[in-house]
Amino acid sequence: MSQFSGKCDCADHFCMIGPGDHTEEEINKEIARTDFYIYHEDKQHRLDIHSYKDLVPYFPYIIAVGCFNGEKGRQTIVFSSRSWVDREEEDHLTWVLEDAKKEYRRCKRKKIPFDIDACLARMSTFNADIKREVVKRVAEKGDKADIKGLHFPHYDKWDRAMLAQEMSRVGYNDFEISRWVYQGRDYNWRKEEE
């Protein structure tokens, strides 16, 4: 399992499968015979990946489809639309949001005021600050509350920090790292052609 997502992801496929450690040179040979695509908005987009450095930002992405053409000696890999870390974080935030909305609807049905502290008391204290923000949004917007802009700190501290460290090691600057790892979570793919 990969250190970047805890799943069998891109890093796992290229860096860890097979006997022994693979050098960047060996990985570059594998990349040279691979066509990369990503699903985005229900379409496949070709990615411009020609070296280990180009591949690193996709390390936490799950390989959705992979195939090999024996005659041409080439393989095709299609990544999921978003990294596993981003998907897992969104699922966790959505679970918290739905839990808060459930309490909001219960209060509305019983015609009692929605109490932020009472709602939080029913939740675990893990990531209490983020949960408080979600519950505040539900108190303000009711069923129209969302999770936009919210992120759990442990995903940044561990999973994204490891990706940022590897990107720095292979030569990405701070701006590129920030754009890929922390800011462009929903649109952090580079397309070559549509």
Residue 172 — very low, low, confident or very high, per pLDDT cuts 50/70/90?
very high
Residue 1 — very low, low, confident or very high, per pLDDT cuts 50/70/90?
low
Tell me whether residue 34 is exposed, middle or buried, using C-beta atoms within 10 angstroms of its C-beta: 0 to 12, 13 to 18, 19 or more. middle
48 vs 52: CA distance, rounded Å = 12
177 vs 181: CA distance, rounded Å = 6
Token duo for residue 76: 């095709």
What percentage of the chain carries pLDDT values higher than 70? 89
Q: What is the layout of strands, in order, in the sheet containing 61-69? A: 61-69, 74-83, 34-40, 43-47, 191-193
Residue range 68-93, pLDDT digits in tens: 887 788 889 999 888 888 889 899 99
Q: What local confidence, expressed as pLDDT, does residue 112 receive?
A: 94
pLDDT at 54 over 70: yes
pLDDT at 32 over 60: yes
Residue 184 — very low, low, confident or very high, per pLDDT cuts 50/70/90?
low
DSSP H or E run through 11: helix 10-11
181 vs 179: CA distance, rounded Å = 6
Report DSSP letters for 123-155, one per residue.
S-STTHHHHHHHHHHHHHHGGG---TT---HHI
Q: What's the CA dihedral at 50, 180, 88, 7 to 10 degrees?
A: 30
Give residue limits of the domains in the chain: 10-85+154-193, 86-144
CA angle 28, 80, 144 (to 5 degrees): 145
Query: 85, 78 in Cβ contact below 8 A?
Result: no
